[in-house]
Amino acid sequence: MEITEQKKGSVVLLVLTGRLDAGTAGRLEERLVSLIDAGSRSFVLDFMHLDYISSAGLRVLLMAAKKLKGLNGRIVLSSLKAHIREVFDIAGFSAIFPTYDQQDAAVGSFQ
């Protein structure tokens, strides 16, 4: 999995490409924890190029969301492919993470 990072104002945009699974979830966890520890509180994860997410990937997202909740921060998601959205729906994560069809709308939700 590739993680591309950008800053859009106070929002950290992470574009994920490839597969978020047991073999790659640790890299995302390290990056999110590092950014949160450095003071970032607003995150958009763009899944336009994400092909697969496993329970390990979901666990990392949940961990980061819980950590951010205590710091008045949040994660929003954008550009979920239909099969990725289905995983979120089945796991009940659609109720936890706001999702947007477009990256710009997700970034704009912080203003």
The neighbour count for residue 13, using CB atoms within 10 Å, is: 19
Domains in the chain: how many in total? Answer: 1
Segments forming the whole domain that contains residue 20: 2-108
Q: Note the helical H segments in 1-111.
A: 25-37, 55-69, 82-91, 103-108
| pLDDT value of position 16 | 98
Condensed to tens digits (0 to 9), the pLDDT of residues 17-60 reads 999 999 999 999 999 999 999 999 999 999 999 999 999 999 99
Tokens 């819980």 belong to 66
Kindly state the percentage of the chain with pLDDT values over 70. Answer: 100
Tokens 């390990």 belong to 56
Closest Cα to residue 58, out of 10, 100, 16?
Answer: 16
pTM for this structure?
0.95
- CATH number of domain containing 87: 3.30.750.24
Condensed to tens digits (0 to 9), the pLDDT of residues 62-94 reads 999 999 999 999 999 999 999 999 999 999 999
pLDDT at 111 over 90: no
Average pLDDT of the chain is 97
